[in-house]
Amino acid sequence: MEEKLSTKYNDAVQQIKAAILKSQAKALAGVNQEQLALYYGIGRYISNNSRAGFWGKDAIETISRQLSAEMPGLRGFSPRNLRNMRTFYEQWSALDSNLADASAKLQSTDNSADTSAKLPVDSNIVSAAMLEIPLVAFFSISFSHHVLILSKVKTEEERKFYIQLAADMHLSHEALGHKIDEDVFHNQGKMPNNFAKTISDSKQAFRAVQMFKDEYLLDYINVEQLGERDEDIDERVIEKAIVNNVKNFIMTFGKGFTFSGSEVHYDKLGHDHWVDLLFFNRILRATVVVELKKGKFKPSYLGQLSHYLHVIDDDDRLEWENAPLGIILCKDADRTFVEYVLQDYQRPMGVATYKTSQEQLKELLPDEDEMKKLL
């Protein structure tokens, strides 16, 4: 029995080795799809043989050890990673639905019938049944990204979401982990916006929705300077605080932003326009206008912002850029009302709110009466 298992393990090692060598030759061209196809095929082979009981208890450890012995310097085929490949295949086994019969077949080392699964070494694993899976994004991210998603995300819908997010936003492994920990899937699209309606490219709209939060913490604003003068001066105080801390603001706002300026002047048909804050986002390939408002949201803010976007679109947008987007950043907003008003506008805009560190601390502390009781 042990001799027969040893033969099967040796057969498995040789077939996996052949698949690795074939894939490595193509991988020199830097095609990520080749690696994923290889791992998927190995995962299928391991799954079908180990789950069906063709292999013994320590098969994966034995195969990994022998692969290392036969291919010195080989990385990525530890027992743990071989199991990751099996999980990768089992989660996305729908890729198998309509595979061509031309996929390579393993041949048994003896003349007896062998019902064990065979390892496909053909990398063409895309089928018509996979239209539900974001294929371009799927093959754009690394295997380590896939493993992270499979290990931390439980539902298929969420996994597809994070695959698309990682590809669209070019997230590193670490950045993707942070997004998952932040539970971006369940917090997506919270900022009231009209992106889906005003951005014709659905992928671009998706990126825009994911780029912005519904609320930002501006912990560098000195609230003692606010409320002492009129609203316009207060807004300049907020703007100055952001400009003086623009690095922190960009880190708060998201990935891919570069600061273009504050109080940016545009002259349109003899009329002056002053944009509070101007950014460019490399991921969206678009200018982002941020208008600051001290108080509660007013519908007139959107009219002003829409006009600024119109001017920038006409006079400042380059051929390769996407249409500019605008964000109203105000102290308070009724989400339902904002969404209702946004329906009237054809320029991509959203409305977010901000809070200061003092306000956040106040939310965490008990109220005055409760404090007295505690004391």
Do residues 44 and 90 touch, judged by C-beta distance below 8 A? no
**How many CB atoms are closer than 10 A to CB 237?**
19
Domain at 195-361, CATH class: alpha beta
Tally of CB atoms within 10 A around 274 = 10
* Residues 229 and 240: beta-carbon distance below 8 Å: no
- What confidence score (pLDDT) does residue 222 get? 52
Per-residue pLDDT at 125: 45
Distances (CA, A) of 350 to 192, 207, 308: 6, 14, 14
Task: Transcribe 155-176 into DSSP letters.
Answer: SHHHHHHHHHHHHHTT--HHHH
Contacts for 232 with CB less than 8 Å, ≥ 6 apart: none
Report the Cα 301 to chain-centroid distance in Å.
31
pTM: 0.55
Coil, helix or strand at residue 260? strand
| Residues 246 and 259: beta-carbon distance below 8 Å | yes
pLDDT the model gives residue 202: 83
Residues 6+ apart with CB under 8 A from 82: 42, 46, 60, 63, 64
Per-residue model confidence as pLDDT tens for the chain (375 residues): 555 556 677 778 878 887 787 666 555 435 678 888 889 999 999 998 888 777 877 889 999 999 989 988 888 899 999 999 999 999 998 776 533 332 333 333 334 444 445 555 444 444 433 446 777 788 888 999 999 999 999 998 899 999 988 888 788 899 899 889 888 888 766 789 999 899 998 888 888 888 888 888 777 655 444 444 445 545 766 777 777 777 777 777 778 899 898 889 999 999 999 998 899 999 899 999 999 888 899 999 999 999 999 999 999 999 999 999 999 999 899 999 999 999 999 999 999 998 875 554 444 445 566 656 666
Contacts 24+ apart (CB under 8 A), 244-247: 244/220, 245/220
Domain boundaries, given as residue ranges, for the chain:
2-132, 195-361
pLDDT, residue 361, reads 41
| Sign of the four-CA dihedral 306, 310, 313, 316 | negative
- Give CA–CA dist 19/42, Å, rounded: 8
- What does the pLDDT read at residue 184? 81
pLDDT at 20: 80
Q: What is the pLDDT of residue 90?
A: 92
